[in-house]
Amino acid sequence: MAPSKAGRAVTALPNPLRAADRQRLLMELERKVLWLSSWTIHHANHIRPNRDGLKVGGHQASSASVATLMTALYFDVLRPQDRVAVKPHASPVFHAIQYMLGQQSLDKLQNFRALGGAQSYPSRTKDTDDVDFSTGSVGLGVALTSFAALVQDYVRLKGLADTSTPPGRMVAVVGDAELDEGNIFEALLEGWKHDVRNLWWVIDYNRQSLDAVVSDRLYSHIDQLFQNMGWRVVTLKYGKKLERAFAGPDGEALRHWIDACPNSLYSALVYKGGEGWRKHLTGDLGHLPGIRAFLAGHDDRGLHEAMTNLAGHDMSSVLEAFHAIEDDQPTCFIAYTIKGFGLPFAGHKDNHAGLMNESQMAVFQRSMRVAAGSEWDRFAGLEASQGEIEAFLATVPFAASGPRRLKAPAVPVPENLPVPPAERQSTQEGFGRILSDLAAGDSALARHIVTSSPDVTVSTNLGGWVNRRGLFDRHARSDVFREEKVVSAQRWQMSPDGQHIELGIAENNFFSLMGALGLAEPIFGARLLPIGTLYDPFIARGLDALNYACYQNARFMLVATPSGITLAPEGGAHQSIGTPLIGLAQDGLTAFEPTFVDELAVLMRWGFEYMQAPEGGAVYLRLSTRPVDQPKRAMTPELHHAIVSGGYWLAPPSPGAELAIVCQGAVVPEAITAHRDILEDIPGAGLLVVTSADRLHQDWLGAKRAGARSPIESLLRPLAADAALVTVLDGHPATLSWLGAVSRHRVQPLGVEHFGQSGDIPDLYRVYGLDSDAILDAVARACLSRD
Ligand SMILES: Cc1ncc(C[n+]2csc(CCOP(=O)(O)OP(=O)(O)O)c2C)c(N)n1
Ligand SMILES: [Mg+2]
């Protein structure tokens, strides 16, 4: 791999300081950032009182690895519109940089990894120093930048964001082991399809992961891979000192030696220092006079410095490479670095979680010239004066406009979404019709909706919406089938005006896109109402990316359909069981499972507001393909409120009733039949329809803590103290069985506990115990056993 042929030099920077001065000050800041990140971790582990005996942790080696790259980026290269996903374990470097820029407090650094302090891994929601993208689960932050680039194009091409400033670069500072995560490659492919622009991935190529030294063979293919996806690859391999040595007598032999040096040997020699280098170079190249002279001309320390002079730690090489890129082509910088550079355990394969001990820190502190007691001083130990550094910091472009949390006006949501009329329909069909109706109008709401699906657009009933609103593409592309007059129900015109982003089948990408779309307001200042559809069971396929999107407080509406064993003939591989529990447990996501389409219309309407509310969140609607008889009823304010709160009595119990059937989603018709049958024997029995176990549960816990009464307690209040509840849903029974704890009622929970299989609804409901007979049996058990 050839080192960067980066052209434009630092001198071209529009800054009053001479290039040489800038570089000198940047190198001072690099030292400072290395010091502060190391000290922050040291302080948390060795100085702050420890109450529980747990290792606090932190990654000094991983941080040191990117000190140069991140210093160059944040203090020189980035602009306020640029957005960055920092590799998770470089969090201390990020916080140190913000501290230097006056955007992070001392208190937060002193409480790194403690309650209320700076977070272990950069967090949009928990940190206060303007983190762009949270990271932590390796690979996800990297991929998110690609989807953020796509969203940036979407909102700019539509004029939904301010286009008076140039587009920002979406930057990922990537740990090399992150490239072992498959989601990165899924994202690369999808990014290529969408021709994403303004994307930089800066790979911290220290050839070390957590456990080990990274395979040599891997990287010989990585640059090819990026190039195949249309990326520019800039390899930052050797620093200026080494380049000078290569240019000297027998320098080419030295270059070949180091090029061929296996990662593990290079790492080991980095750890061992000058003596080790001398021994190996003498053994392998000592016969060459130029090399003998090179060795003689360096003492051990100088030799070590030269041999570890990789470009990722060479400020001038790094600046040159970054500033050479002026166009919007996605660019991957492969920056050779050393894990733990400048620290005593540099290069050691076990250094990932290694911490300097007290005496190592004392030596390091002396070498940094930081006096005892001045450890947190922003200017201690630097050669430049405080005034000079402060003057420089005042010119840093990235910090020119302070924190960059953008706002966009709310999109008005109509009082009601019309319910598509039908005697009998499924929630999935209703969903498609509601959206299609919205697409036909010209409301602000419809203009701000953006849909997406991982190759299940048509089968989740988004077809009507897409036919009307078109597919998004940076370039207008015609619908060939249409032009060729091939009859099709799908009209797939692609253009920058389109409002549907079609993805390949990769649920991880889908949830990453939901995350990026759902952050359009704070990141790009554009209001979007993203709706994503996928098959309910495949939520599990992208679960970490879903969790990641929620962790960042992204706002989107997830429409998961079809669901459960109700998907009958499709069989067990497509039938979801545990997703209602995901809905119950996932923070940042409010889950609903409507049965009737009028409920769905209410919930979608509520969702559009909730997605925009400051204290709102994302919404999950679990839908079904089962056609269900629709109730003929007026949507009273009370019913509306109850649907949103999580449940209502379809048949209210009489006061002191001994039994209630509690049902949710596709199996409600079975519950209605069973309820009708038992009314003869238990005349006052109630039938409760749950629209959101999640909301009922959350409000129950909240009310308990507040000593108040929750909606579910109010609902169950008419029942006798020793009444029985039979709960039933097409999903795991634990979703509703907790209802027994609300007022200490006896519960007979029905649901699906085992993998489904092919069949029709009557057979499957019978085998899995969801049909009306099973409900009646459960009622009988409850009445007979009284437990
Ligand atoms: C999904 C996931 N799995 C495992 C981990 C634990 N982990 C943290 S860092 C790391 C390796 C990081 O290596 P690299 O990306 O090369 O960064 P470096 O420490 O070398 O800077 C692992 C496996 C994680 N954070 N996320
Ligand atoms: Mg690494």
**3-state SS, one letter per residue, for 693-709:** HHHHHHHHHHHHHHCCC
* Ligand 1 probe mutation, 66, 89, 338, most atoms within 8 A of CB: 89
| Pairing of β 424-425 and β 628-629 | antiparallel
Going from the Cα of 578 to the center of ligand 1, the distance in angstroms, rounded, reads 29
Which 3 state secondary structure label does DSSP give 640?
helix
The 10 Å Cβ neighbour count of residue 15 is 16
CB neighbour list of residue 726: distance below 8 Å, 6 or more residues apart:
659, 660, 661, 662, 747, 748, 750, 775, 778, 779, 782
Cα(382)–Cα(369) distance, integer angstroms? 8
* Ligand 1 probe mutation, 178, 183, 343, 352, most atoms within 8 A of CB: 352
Residue nearest atom 9 in ligand 1 by C-alpha distance? 210
- Kindly give the residue spans of alpha helices, DSSP state H, lying in 631-729: 637-645, 668-678, 693-706, 711-716
Which ligand is closest to the CA of 341, given by its number? 1
Going from the Cα of 542 to the center of ligand 1, the distance in angstroms, rounded, reads 19
Which residues in 36-71 are b (16+ Cβ under 10 Å) and which e? bbbbbbbbbbeebeeeeeeebebbbbbbbbbbbbbb
Q: What angle do CA 489, 493, 496 make, to 5 degrees?
A: 150
- Whole-number pLDDT of residue 60: 97
CB neighbour list of residue 113: distance below 8 Å, 6 or more residues apart:
44, 56, 57, 58, 119, 120
Taking the CA of residue 209 as reference, the ligand 1 atom at the shortest distance is 13
Taking the CA of residue 544 as reference, the ligand 1 atom at the shortest distance is 1
- Kindly give the residue spans of alpha helices, DSSP state H, lying in 229-299: 240-247, 251-260, 263-272, 274-285, 289-296
Residue nearest atom 26 in ligand 1 by C-alpha distance? 137
Going from the Cα of 266 to the center of ligand 1, the distance in angstroms, rounded, reads 21
Which ligand is closest to the CA of 88, given by its number? 1
* Ligand 1 probe mutation, 140, 210, 334, 352, most atoms within 8 A of CB: 210
- Whole-number pLDDT of residue 7: 31
Question: How is residue 418 written in tokens?
Answer: 């019309």
Taking the CA of residue 138 as reference, the ligand 1 atom at the shortest distance is 26
Taking the CA of residue 140 as reference, the ligand 1 atom at the shortest distance is 1
CB 581 within 8 A of CB 642: no
Taking the CA of residue 136 as reference, the ligand 1 atom at the shortest distance is 25
Taking the CA of residue 210 as reference, the ligand 1 atom at the shortest distance is 11
Write down the mean pLDDT value for the chain.
94
- Whole-number pLDDT of residue 637: 97
CB 530 within 8 A of CB 517: yes
Residue nearest atom 17 in ligand 1 by C-alpha distance? 175
Task: Kindly list the protein residues that place their beta carbon closer than 5 angstroms to ligand 2, a single-atom ion.
Answer: 175-177, 206, 208
Please report how the helices 216-228 and 182-193 are oriented relative to each other, as an axis angle in degrees rounded to 10. Answer: 20
Going from the Cα of 205 to the center of ligand 2, the distance in angstroms, rounded, reads 6
* Single-letter residue type at 719: L
Which ligand is closest to the CA of 61, given by its number? 1
Q: What angle do CA 718, 720, 723 make, to 5 degrees?
A: 115
Residue nearest atom 12 in ligand 1 by C-alpha distance? 209
Which ligand is closest to the CA of 87, given by its number? 1
Going from the Cα of 201 to the center of ligand 2, the distance in angstroms, rounded, reads 14
> What is the tens place of the pLDDT at every residue in 753-786?
999 999 999 999 999 999 999 999 999 999 887 6
Respond yes or no on whether the N-terminal peptide bond of residue 580 is cis (omega within 30° of 0): no
Taking the CA of residue 214 as reference, the ligand 1 atom at the shortest distance is 16
Please state, in angstroms and as integers, the Cα–Cα distance from residue 226 to each residue in 197, 201, 308, following that order.
14, 10, 27
Which ligand is closest to the CA of 350, given by its number? 1
* Ligand 1 probe mutation, 120, 138, 180, most atoms within 8 A of CB: 138
Cα(673)–Cα(773) distance, integer angstroms? 9
Going from the Cα of 40 to the center of ligand 2, the distance in angstroms, rounded, reads 21
Going from the Cα of 101 to the center of ligand 1, the distance in angstroms, rounded, reads 27
Which element (helix H / strand E) includes 451?
strand 449-454
CB 557 within 8 A of CB 531: yes
Going from the Cα of 209 to the center of ligand 1, the distance in angstroms, rounded, reads 6
Going from the Cα of 181 to the center of ligand 1, the distance in angstroms, rounded, reads 10
Going from the Cα of 210 to the center of ligand 1, the distance in angstroms, rounded, reads 6
> What is the tens place of the pLDDT at every residue in 463-509?
999 999 999 999 988 777 777 777 777 778 899 999 999 999 999 99
Residue nearest atom 13 in ligand 1 by C-alpha distance? 209
- Whole-number pLDDT of residue 217: 65
Residue indicated by tokens 């079904």: 624
Going from the Cα of 175 to the center of ligand 1, the distance in angstroms, rounded, reads 7
Going from the Cα of 78 to the center of ligand 1, the distance in angstroms, rounded, reads 25
Identify the CA nearest to 78 among candidates 130, 37, 120. Answer: 130
* Ligand 1 probe mutation, 68, 180, 209, most atoms within 8 A of CB: 209
- Kindly give the residue spans of alpha helices, DSSP state H, lying in 502-575: 507-517, 520-524, 543-551
Taking the CA of residue 121 as reference, the ligand 1 atom at the shortest distance is 25
CB 712 within 8 A of CB 646: yes
* Single-letter residue type at 544: D
Question: How is residue 380 written in tokens?
Answer: 């201690």
Please state, in angstroms and as integers, the Cα–Cα distance from residue 283 to each residue in 269, 287, 295, 307, 605, following that order.
14, 8, 12, 16, 75
Which ligand is closest to the CA of 65, given by its number? 1
Going from the Cα of 173 to the center of ligand 1, the distance in angstroms, rounded, reads 13
Going from the Cα of 174 to the center of ligand 2, the distance in angstroms, rounded, reads 9
Please state, in angstroms and as integers, the Cα–Cα distance from residue 386 to each residue in 348, 379, 400, following that order.
35, 6, 19
Question: How is residue 456 written in tokens?
Answer: 């299940």
Which portions of the chain are predicted below pLDDT 70?
1-16, 213, 215-218, 786-787
Ligand 1 cavity residues, CB under 6 Å: 62, 65, 87-89, 137-138, 175-178, 204, 206, 208-210, 339, 352
Identify the CA nearest to 557 among candidates 605, 507, 502. Answer: 605
Going from the Cα of 64 to the center of ligand 1, the distance in angstroms, rounded, reads 15
Q: What angle do CA 227, 232, 235 make, to 5 degrees?
A: 95
Q: What is the DSSP letter of 310?
A: B
| Pairing of β 657-664 and β 686-690 | parallel
End-to-end CA separation in angstroms for the chain = 73
Cα(90)–Cα(68) distance, integer angstroms? 12
Taking the CA of residue 65 as reference, the ligand 1 atom at the shortest distance is 21
Length reported for the chain? 787
Taking the CA of residue 139 as reference, the ligand 1 atom at the shortest distance is 1
CB neighbour list of residue 507: distance below 8 Å, 6 or more residues apart:
454, 534, 538, 539, 541, 542, 545
Handedness of CA 92, 97, 98, 102 (dihedral sign): positive
